[in-house]
Amino acid sequence: MPQSLDNVLIHVIFSTRERMPFLCDCDLRRKTHAYMAGVIRKLGCAPIQIGGVADHVHLLVAISRTITIADFVKETKRATTDWLKNGDPEVPNFHWQRGYGVFSVSESARDEVTRYIASQEAHHRRTDYQSEFRKFCEKHGLEIDERYAWD
């Protein structure tokens, strides 16, 4: 086949360092998500849904076949960290956690994951980030080491 086609959807989750509520201001959170979408597009990927709460973010992305997942996450985190630290005097010490979770999403689950990410504020009235992340890992057959998961 002379052409290369892909439709690889990933759900990426990562928190602020030590789950500090740096993004508690809704306007800053909205701007951060919008900036992140621009970074994702510059990486040649397609942001489908970005959401989260004060201490973490969820991304549903159609990742390009020309970038590794590790490079995608690294550059997305680096660019948004630089933007936040240099652009908002309220968050000069902003950092994302070192780790992250990436989960595959089938096209048939795209709408469900989109809705889930869009409803993060309501969801987190009932559960915290750590419980949510543990459930994702469990659902996807991943064992986490609690000593390193929550930096």
Domain that holds residue 125: 8-139
Q: What is the pLDDT of residues 30-73, one digit of tens each?
A: 999 999 999 999 999 999 999 999 999 999 999 999 999 999 99
Structural domains in the chain (count): 1
Radius of gyration of the chain (CA): 15
The domain that holds 66 is classified in CATH as 3.30.70.1290
pTM attached to this predicted model: 0.93
Q: Show the low-confidence residues of the chain (pLDDT under 50).
A: none
| pLDDT (0 to 100) of residue 35 | 97
| pLDDT (0 to 100) of residue 88 | 66
Q: Is the residue at 3 inside a domain? A: no
For 53-103, give the secondary structure using H, E and C.
ECCEEEEEEEECCCCCHHHHHHHHHHHHHHHHHHHCCCCCCCCECCCCEEE
Q: Is the residue at 63 inside a domain? A: yes
